[in-house]
Amino acid sequence: MRNIIILYCVFLTGNFMSQNPNWLLFDHTNAPFVNDSINWVEVDSNNVKWIGTQNGLYSFNNNAWTVYNTQNSNIPNNRIDKFKIAFDNTIWFLNHNNGFIKFKNNTFTLYNKSNLSSLPTDSLLGLAIDSNDVFFWTDKNGVIKFNSLTNSIYVMDTTNSCLKSVQKLVFHSNHTLYGECKNPGNSFSSPQNKADSILLANNFTIINANTPSINYCFMNLFNFCDYYRVLVDRYKNRYEIVSLYTGNQTSDYRLRTYDYNNILLSDVSYNQTFDNQIATNTHGRYFINNAAGTDFFSPTIFSTSFQGFYGVWNTIIPSTVIINFDIDSLNNVWISTPAGLVVYNDLGVITNIYSTSSINTIFYPTPTTNLVNIRSNEKVSTIELNNLTGQILLSETINSKEHELQLQNFANGIYFVKVVYANGMSLTKKVVKQ
């Protein structure tokens, strides 16, 4: 396999850091993104950030960027949407109606009906991971279990129409699988399905307004409840959003949080009934909320230390659409949007990222026609010009704080300029010649 592109990126103090130390933004100006649309972000157990885009899979270890695309790896498709990271840091992707992909040891493996004949369909809607098993659900076959150790498929067949339209799936403790589907009798509610994936593979319990659950509606067993969301974060907390019917068609919306051992941590009133994601770190709880009842959504990130909402109106978040987020072990919150990757920290310190560097380097003009002027407050030792596949087209030793990079002998297009400083740090900047 050809070498994977590794691009180094150092943030500039003249950027967002000097304006608001709580926030940083990765986009095409300071990261190797071809465009700024970020489809998904997750953090693995080594604190490496994985970013899905329309132009490949990116990883960032707070120092170096690595890019996987069809030009430098065996990835079958550059479009990377939602994915999940297993306990051993294997990454699993759905492949746009063509099966699914496993990524491990820098190798992508495609599974579909052509090499996994027991797979009932290539049109998979989503996935959840439990230990070494991967579970999929489809719109017509119910829930499918895939054992990655034996490459075996087991279809959790059911005649219940709700399980034919499962839209979301999460795992919690004791191999308990939670799925979300539309209630066939009520288009406005989203009851949950529960199954034990190992011992009771076909025994699903439908939890909705007609089936009170001791596990989830125990606060008032004689009243019905609707089940709207079950979410699990990377710290194994489970969040359940339910509506208890209190009479006269009125409801008491509740948010219940359980730990990995199913111990109830909190049970509070909750007025954000359609959250897409909830997660906690050591000093705050966050959620993405879509404003219901309108055609235009205004997602926000909420922190208990802020007691308010974050959005484009009061932060550097570049879009009113927030897709998902994840939290690393340093309490940094990584947020994906269609206009860039945002990093946030409640404490005001973006920890262990080179954003605190005193280096300030500017590139101009950009776009350019023939040359790029490079000016820095730190002495530069070498400058490299790379193409999109990582090939070094030009390398110059300058030992100066100023340089003119000549591009007249290169075709119009996108390039990456890597600046290596005398102190050993480096910065990669995307430039466009037109």
Q: pLDDT tens digits, residue range 297-339?
A: 567 777 655 556 788 888 889 988 889 999 888 888 999 999 9
The DSSP 8-state label assigned to residue 362 in this structure reads E
Q: 388 is written with which tokens? A: 């999109």
User: Does one domain contain both 257 and 368?
Assistant: no
User: Does one domain contain both 131 and 260?
Assistant: yes
Domain membership flag for residue 66:
no
Domain membership flag for residue 332:
no
Domain-terminating residue out of 244, 273, 302: 273
Residue 56: predicted pLDDT? 94
User: Does one domain contain both 134 and 232?
Assistant: yes
Residue 353: predicted pLDDT? 63
Domain membership flag for residue 131:
yes
Domain membership flag for residue 321:
no
Domain membership flag for residue 238:
yes
The DSSP 8-state label assigned to residue 7 in this structure reads E
- Distance of alpha carbon 347 from alpha carbon 333, whole angstroms: 11
CB-based contacts of 348, cutoff 8 Å, min separation 6: 21, 22
Residue 357: predicted pLDDT? 44
Domain-terminating residue out of 235, 256, 273: 273
How many structural domains is the chain composed of? 2
Q: 101 is written with which tokens? A: 């992909």
User: Does one domain contain both 389 and 260?
Assistant: no
**How many other C-beta atoms are found inside a 10 Å radius of the C-beta of residue 116?**
16
Instruction: Provide the domain limits for residue 399.
Output: 361-433
User: Does one domain contain both 124 and 252?
Assistant: yes
Give the predicted TM-score (pTM) of the model. 0.71
Domain membership flag for residue 223:
yes
Separation of CA 359 from chain center: 30
User: Does one domain contain both 118 and 266?
Assistant: yes
Q: Which residues of the chain, if any, have pLDDT below 50?
A: 1-19, 183-193, 195-204, 206-223, 292-295, 355-357
Residue 291: predicted pLDDT? 54
User: Does one domain contain both 128 and 268?
Assistant: yes
User: Does one domain contain both 269 and 372?
Assistant: no
Residue 14: predicted pLDDT? 31
Residue 55: predicted pLDDT? 92
User: Does one domain contain both 366 and 220?
Assistant: no
Q: 121 is written with which tokens? A: 């369909």
User: Does one domain contain both 229 and 121?
Assistant: yes
Domain-terminating residue out of 213, 245, 273: 273
User: Does one domain contain both 402 and 258?
Assistant: no
Cβ-based burial of 128 (10 A; exposed 0-12, middle 13-18, buried ≥19): buried
Three-state SS across 233-266? CCCCCEEEEEEEEEECCEEEEEEEEECCCCCEEE
User: Does one domain contain both 257 and 372?
Assistant: no
Domain membership flag for residue 151:
yes
Question: CATH number of the domain that 409 lies in?
Answer: 2.60.40.3080
Domain membership flag for residue 48:
no
3-state helix, strand, coil in the chain (%, to 5): 5, 50, 50
